[in-house]
Structure 1
Amino acid sequence: MAMESSVSKAVRQGLIYSSLTAVALGTTSFTVAAEENEEVERIEVTGSRIKRTDLEGASPVTLITTEDFAKTGALSAADVLRQSNLNTFGSFSESSGSTWQSQSNINLRGAGADRTLVLINGKRMPGSPTMGGSAVNLNTIPTAAIDRIEVLTDGASAVYGSDAVAGVVNIIMKRGYEGLEISATGSSPEQDGGDEWKAHVVGGIAGDKGSVSFSVEHQDRDIIYQRDRWFSSSTGLDEQFYNDTTGVSAYARNFLDMTTFAFSPMEACNNDKMVGGGHVYDYGDGDYICGYDYTAEGADHAAREYTAGYINGEYFITDEITFNTQALFSRNETFGRYAPAAGWFNVDADQIEIQNWVDGVNTGSSTNENAGRVYYRFTDVGTRDSTTIDYSTDIQFALEGEHDDFGWDLTYHFNRAENSNYGSGYVHRPTVEALVESGEFNFGPEGNDESVVAAISHDVLAQDFMDFHSINFGINFEAIELPAGMVGWYVGTEWADYSYSSEVDQESANGEVIGSSGNGSGGDRDVWAIFAESVVPVTDDLELNFALRYDDYSDFGDNVAPKVGLRYQALEDVVIRASWGQGFRAPALSDLYAADSFSADYATDYRYCELQGTSANDCTESQYDVTRTANEDLDAEESDFYNLGVIWNITDEFSAKVEYYNLSIDNVITFISLDSLLTEEANVGYGNLSNGAEIVRAGDDPNGRLLEATTPLVNGNGFDTDGVDINLNYTGFETEIGEFGTNLDVTWVLSYEDEEYFDGPTNDMVGRNGLPEYRATWTIDWEMGSHSASILTQYIDSQSEDTDPVTYEESGKINSHTTFDVTYNYQTNWEGTVSLAVRNLTDEDPELDSNLSYNTDLYNLYGRTYLVTYTQRF
């Protein structure tokens, strides 16, 4: 091959010397003439198991280095990946109070975190048991041990199997490291909460017979309460109408008459824990309620304490055989807080005192005439505090051999995840109902005494486990000589065993705990696979790639995934590449076997608003009781993915890359959201929902207020998305005041066609709330002697706020979002580095809708944050 990518050259040098430098969150792709007699090291690049001499193959790979980490100011790999424009529609991050509060993931192409495969050194990481085994928790991966991250933005099920539908994130750990590095970072937002510090030690030695590398790190971050940010704290507390408030819950001290289905405030509203000590809101439809300000107690971002260790050892048994072992250990503890438990329970007639409000006037109190439900906030019990402790152990043993053009590898991989969630401040429903019936529960403003509080209080426990074993064996060789060279081959087999269990305390499993959700589940599966790849040099300028994989699952069936790609050196400075492949995603074990679980979902009941004379724009979302059900009859998802790219080295310093992608997924495994059920109901009528879904309205009346719903897990029809990735890179601009470089990455989503509701009409949803059309990352770098600096600009496009449930017309606007991260570094003459950084220089808040809500997957709430780091190398 006459041409060579300079990034490929840099990657090889990085693998050998650990000195790779790449652009922030993007790739550099420009070619230069290779020296005629230069010996080229073959490397394995994510997306293929065949070692090659060029990073730019038939599939696009984005390189993220440790230098790029520093430019973002982020202290974890999870935070870095979430900021990438390839994480198109955002992804989940730590959320206070939920069972997922310790979790973080990556969502390539907006296709879902469970359709993005995560590898460690090219080997599959099993999904987190807390997320049902469907996605990897990035918070378990030691950041200090990372050498680089390779992101394949192409389907790769033919190479790696299930989950590689939208792409692959391959986290490459340090190996063969020499020296010692000690580093400490302090981080402080201008606004309250979220202070953070981190320290790590990285070291290693190498000799003629092998090497040992290790790292130890600790990270500590404070909690961020909702009251710490103006946009997440409550508003409109003294308003007349409930719809004019934010952060106020109807789960306060209110009664729903199950005969008339009218809401009324209780006498217990006259309590200083309720808004205004008993302020009453007009709830619409002639109903009145008091409210509870849940933002006064709850938190948005969990506190986190993280400790991790990593060790890698390699031993050269002979000149041709190497033994390699690595182990990763992490302990991730988080603390979150919800407002006091809220729930409903049943009362008989003549058990409580309610207030009678007519046209905004309190006409006095009376005993409830009919049986009903009390929507109650248990402030006497205190806040719901949640502590999660996650342990992760990952161990690999590998033998690798090479002889001339023949190589082989054998790897055993073990992963153990133990996640525990301890919660206090919850309430035992049967005890409450028994005390209500006996008259011992005090509904008066003064509340309950200590003996009642102790009787109804309940601590919850949820524990999730995943054991994963795999054995991989493969051989690579060259066979069949063509005029342009030898055909490269890789043939391998893989066996994996998953054992998953999720357990909760018995009262939670029985649905007897107010303020809790979730249920237990468990399952086991074996997977066996065989796969093959080849690289065929058709001419000096044209290379073809083929891959085929067969997977057999013990619990649901088998799958065959093919892939074809090509790389064509069209001109001396122009490369054209393309690939097509089919993929699949197996149902997670929790998808198949989880017990029914309770969830409090937010949704907007447009139909009920219309009946009340409220316009769609003024109709606000509310929280409803939802039961989620698993499905043992789920099929695997299937996908088609193809890309077409052009790489042009315009000059030695300036390069451009344009990549078109198209992803189509069928049989999508999904819970039918409550919003989707409401849209379906508006089209098919009350009581006519499909797939076992159910909506229950007051009095079983189609025009009644929504009370609760059941939503099943199903195979939907699927969705299609396509878009363009653009990269422009310029380096080596020398001036009297230093050398400059710049890199621009843009992801432009051309379409995202999905169903409006299950089995309903399909529309292009790009530009809707949470689905921005554009995301961009622009970096400017400067270096002069011992000084260097960078400015990282990140842009998220504007979105519409609402979509009409009938016409699907979009309305309202959520503004675009631009942030600037600035970093300065000074290299001392004693191998030390001082780094100063400001994240979110202009102190931008998240982009808010008219209800002051924001998309937590797309934006964070830290605001302007200052960082200082000192690193010493020996």
Structure 2
Amino acid sequence: MTKRLAMTAVCALVAANPALAQETLFQLDEIIFSAGLTEIEEDRTGVTVDVLTTEDLRYAGDIQLSNTLATVPGLSVSQNGPVGTATTVRIRGLDSDYIPVFLNGIDVTDPSSAQMGFDFGVLTGAAATRVEILRGSQGAIYGSEAIGGVVNITTDLAPEDLGTEVTISLEAGSYETYLASLGIGARFERGTLSFSATELVTEGFSAADENDGNSEEDGHQSTTLMLTGEYDATDALTLGFSAFYIDSFSEIDGFPAPAFTLADTQDEQEDERYGLRAYANFDAFGIEHEIAASGSRTERYYPGGFTEDFRGDRVTLSYLGTASVRQADTLTFGIDVTEEDFEAGADSGDVETAAVFAEYVAAFGSDFDLSTSLRYDEHSIFGGQATGRIAAAWRPAEGTVVRGSIATGFRAPSLFELYSGFFGNPDLEPEQSRSIELGIEREFGDLTLGATVFYTEIDDLIRFSGGGYNQVPGTSTTQGVELTADYMLSDAVTAFANYTYTEAEDQTGARLRRVPRHDTTLGIAGEFGPNWSGSFSLQNVADRVDPAPMDDYVLANGQIGYGITEEAEIYLRIENIFDEEYQTATGYGTSDRAFYIGLRSRF
């Protein structure tokens, strides 16, 4: 199954065509593209992967993609205020420092950021058509940083059949929020082409919590452009490309003197991100080959900061070869070279990493698959780093999958951690990790249950302390369990529940900040009558520290949609139905009860 309850939790936000989403959820043999070096059927991979499909994302209703990710088991989100402010996605208690993010194959993590993370605050869900979320150490597949997991985002709008399809979305609501999105996808005899444009404007609310006496609105404006294409030049050669551009402006709050506590300020920041990837796929000598080149740049301007200008560049060249060894076995191997550099005011630095890697996926009969992955990275500063992963999937009976994996990973210090003039430390060494997980999924007719236990440990974490970045001797751990349940009440209505328990501690036994120990989601979604659809979800987040204990909260969201024609739907979405006062980061505000009305059309 593509998405046990984890994805049903996302579908709880479906406002249109939930029957279509349910069909996707219960479709067997879903192809996973990012669990290893080559694509594989979902029930053959031994690692935990969640898939958000086009229907999940298009009708989720959330402006920010991070809000949708927060409903997935094992994931949690914290944000420093309204749309556009710094947003961190955590996987199994590990934050953005340990989660590479790819957009149409382009690594979009920021080489100029403090710890090489990706800020989800400016990323809307309007253009995405698929998101794959890997959990656990994936260093053998993705190299440095991939300790907590990996997020892969796709924006291909090309229809399945020949022709052109246009999608339009318009939305307006609370905080003077306006969103418009246009998507065009075309499929030709020998290729595809898709383009999307999204414009978001909102006056927002105070980033510093209004309940602490802050009243200044912090607004946001962003423009997002996505372009992808593929062309079959011959029967054996395919050429393709992807490109993106994200430009954003956000108002934020800071820590003014003399109190130096979070409060209303006139601070603002501007971000500009763009990237390009080109590739060629061809068959020769019984091997499928891919040659690719990609590059990205992130520019940030923060006039209120100690350093105002930041720039991070990344260029990657790669080769990947895939060969069938036996009838059902696959050998994949490759190399890549990545150059990264940054500038932050007067500070600068660069690094080059060259890697060789291979993966063998073996089928033992019809009910057991084993994959072995190895990777060696040669870092221009730290020398050689070897990582590995063994993952197995066992299908002992129809409707049952048992998964298990053991993996290692590492995180090289970021360029900012090494070379920033006041905070950098050139004596830092890479962090090292090990992870293990074991899970089972079982179908009982209309009921599907799942359970996964996980454990990750990281040696010698790098943390900001004493005025700079320093190595902290010892081992930090995150461990816990993810439980999912999904029940089809009828052909058109689904009930769901998921729960994640996470124990995340540093080397001293102190809990990691902002990681909920208990995270529970309940809900129902479906078609409740001719042309009518609706959803309701309830999420309880409990037992967090930041660094003092934080209040628990219960967040309710709901929506109702009406199909005015076969191609168009009008909907009403309500966020924070019970007007809960809560924080995901200490001192920073969150939305009060908010109403949004929108129109979606596809033709």
The SS at the match of 1:592 is helix
Q: Alignment length, in residue pairs? A: 586
Q: Find 1:49's aligned residue among 26, 37, 54.
A: 37
Q: Find 1:714's aligned residue among 437, 462, 471.
A: 471
Aligned counterpart, 1:610: none
Aligned counterpart, 1:838: 574
The one-letter amino acid paired with 1:225 is: S
**CA, structure 1 residues 570+554, in 2 after alignment: closer, same or farther (shift >3 Å)?**
same
In the alignment, is residue 793 of structure 1 matched against residue 546 of structure 2? no
Alignment map for 1:286-325 (pairs within 5 Å): 295=214, 299=216, 302-325=218-241
Distance 1:54 1:405 in 2: 25
Which TM-score applies when normalising by structure 2? 0.89
Aligned counterpart, 2:313: 467
In the alignment, is residue 752 of structure 1 matched against residue 496 of structure 2? no
In the alignment, is residue 742 of structure 1 matched against residue 584 of structure 2? no
Question: Going by fraction, where is helix more abundant, 1 or 2?
Answer: 1
The SS at the match of 2:297 is strand
Deviation at 1:59, TM superposition (A): 0.5
Q: Find 1:152's aligned residue among 134, 144, 152.
A: 134
Q: Is the 8 A contact 1:774 1:796 kept in 2?
A: yes
**CA, structure 1 residues 493+857, in 2 after alignment: closer, same or farther (shift >3 Å)?**
farther
Distance 1:856 1:836 in 2: 28
**CA, structure 1 residues 475+387, in 2 after alignment: closer, same or farther (shift >3 Å)?**
same
**CA, structure 1 residues 143+376, in 2 after alignment: closer, same or farther (shift >3 Å)?**
closer
Alignment map for 1:173-212 (pairs within 5 Å): 173-177=155-159, 178-188=164-174, 194-212=175-193
Q: Is the 8 A contact 2:462 2:469 kept in 1?
A: no
Distance 1:206 1:393 in 2: 25
Q: CA RMSD in A?
A: 3.2
Q: Identity over the aligned pairs, expressed in percent?
A: 21
Deviation at 1:873, TM superposition (A): 1.9
Aligned counterpart, 2:439: 645
The one-letter amino acid paired with 2:493 is: F
The SS at the match of 1:114 is helix
Q: Is the 8 A contact 1:826 1:834 kept in 2?
A: yes
Deviation at 1:718, TM superposition (A): 2.9
Q: Is the 8 A contact 2:80 2:588 kept in 1?
A: no
Distance 1:64 1:30 in 2: 13
Deviation at 1:112, TM superposition (A): 2.1
Q: Is the 8 A contact 1:544 1:567 kept in 2?
A: yes
Q: Is the 8 A contact 2:550 2:586 kept in 1?
A: no
Alignment map for 1:786-825 (pairs within 5 Å): 786-798=531-543, 815-825=551-561
The one-letter amino acid paired with 1:198 is: L
Deviation at 1:80, TM superposition (A): 2.5
**CA, structure 1 residues 801+171, in 2 after alignment: closer, same or farther (shift >3 Å)?**
closer
Distance 1:323 1:420 in 2: 36
**CA, structure 1 residues 731+552, in 2 after alignment: closer, same or farther (shift >3 Å)?**
same
Deviation at 1:54, TM superposition (A): 3.2
Deviation at 1:528, TM superposition (A): 0.5
In the alignment, is residue 232 of structure 1 matched against residue 232 of structure 2? no
Deviation at 1:525, TM superposition (A): 0.6
Deviation at 1:314, TM superposition (A): 1.2
The one-letter amino acid paired with 1:713 is: N
In the alignment, is residue 663 of structure 1 matched against residue 579 of structure 2? no
Distance 2:243 2:493 in 1: 40
**CA, structure 1 residues 149+384, in 2 after alignment: closer, same or farther (shift >3 Å)?**
same
Q: Is the 8 A contact 2:520 2:539 kept in 1?
A: yes
In the alignment, is residue 870 of structure 1 matched against residue 599 of structure 2? yes
Which TM-score applies when normalising by structure 1? 0.62
**CA, structure 1 residues 403+780, in 2 after alignment: closer, same or farther (shift >3 Å)?**
farther
**CA, structure 1 residues 120+857, in 2 after alignment: closer, same or farther (shift >3 Å)?**
farther
The SS at the match of 1:176 is coil
**CA, structure 1 residues 159+181, in 2 after alignment: closer, same or farther (shift >3 Å)?**
same
The SS at the match of 2:78 is coil
Aligned counterpart, 1:119: 102
Q: Is the 8 A contact 2:80 2:589 kept in 1?
A: no
Q: Find 1:219's aligned residue among 200, 203, 226.
A: 200
Question: Going by fraction, where is strand more abundant, 1 or 2?
Answer: 2
The SS at the match of 2:378 is strand
Aligned counterpart, 1:632: 426
The one-letter amino acid paired with 1:839 is: E
Deviation at 1:552, TM superposition (A): 0.9
Q: Is the 8 A contact 1:642 1:661 kept in 2?
A: yes
In the alignment, is residue 106 of structure 1 matched against residue 89 of structure 2? yes
The one-letter amino acid paired with 2:42 is: D
Distance 1:140 1:859 in 2: 17
Deviation at 1:712, TM superposition (A): 4.5
The one-letter amino acid paired with 2:449 is: A
Distance 2:439 2:303 in 1: 49
The one-letter amino acid paired with 1:304 is: H
Q: Find 2:291's aligned residue among 410, 419, 423.
A: 410
Aligned counterpart, 2:257: 342
Deviation at 1:200, TM superposition (A): 0.6
Distance 1:566 1:306 in 2: 43
Distance 2:120 2:260 in 1: 37
Distance 2:316 2:471 in 1: 29
Distance 1:835 1:384 in 2: 36
Q: Is the 8 A contact 1:329 1:392 kept in 2?
A: yes
Distance 2:315 2:73 in 1: 33
**CA, structure 1 residues 817+30, in 2 after alignment: closer, same or farther (shift >3 Å)?**
farther
The SS at the match of 2:141 is helix
Alignment map for 1:243-322 (pairs within 5 Å): 295=214, 299=216, 302-322=218-238
Aligned counterpart, 2:153: 171
**CA, structure 1 residues 732+334, in 2 after alignment: closer, same or farther (shift >3 Å)?**
same
Alignment map for 1:2-13 (pairs within 5 Å): 5=1
Deviation at 1:210, TM superposition (A): 1.3
**CA, structure 1 residues 779+748, in 2 after alignment: closer, same or farther (shift >3 Å)?**
same
User: Unpaired segments of 5 or more residues in structure 1?
Assistant: 12-17, 32-39, 189-193, 234-294, 344-374, 378-382, 427-459, 504-519, 597-628, 673-692, 694-709, 757-761, 804-812, 847-853
Aligned counterpart, 1:445: none
**CA, structure 1 residues 202+19, in 2 after alignment: closer, same or farther (shift >3 Å)?**
farther
**CA, structure 1 residues 318+399, in 2 after alignment: closer, same or farther (shift >3 Å)?**
same
Over alpha carbons, which structure has the higher Rg? 1
Aligned counterpart, 2:12: none
Deviation at 1:816, TM superposition (A): 3.1
Aligned counterpart, 2:523: 779
**CA, structure 1 residues 580+821, in 2 after alignment: closer, same or farther (shift >3 Å)?**
same
In the alignment, is residue 554 of structure 1 matched against residue 554 of structure 2? no
Distance 1:306 1:802 in 2: 32
Q: Is the 8 A contact 2:439 2:451 kept in 1?
A: yes
Deviation at 1:472, TM superposition (A): 1.4
Aligned counterpart, 1:725: 482
Deviation at 1:828, TM superposition (A): 2.1
Alignment map for 1:467-546 (pairs within 5 Å): 467-479=313-325, 481=326, 485-503=327-345, 520-546=346-372
Q: Is the 8 A contact 1:185 1:869 kept in 2?
A: yes
Distance 1:864 1:145 in 2: 26
Q: Find 1:91's aligned residue among 75, 78, 83.
A: 78
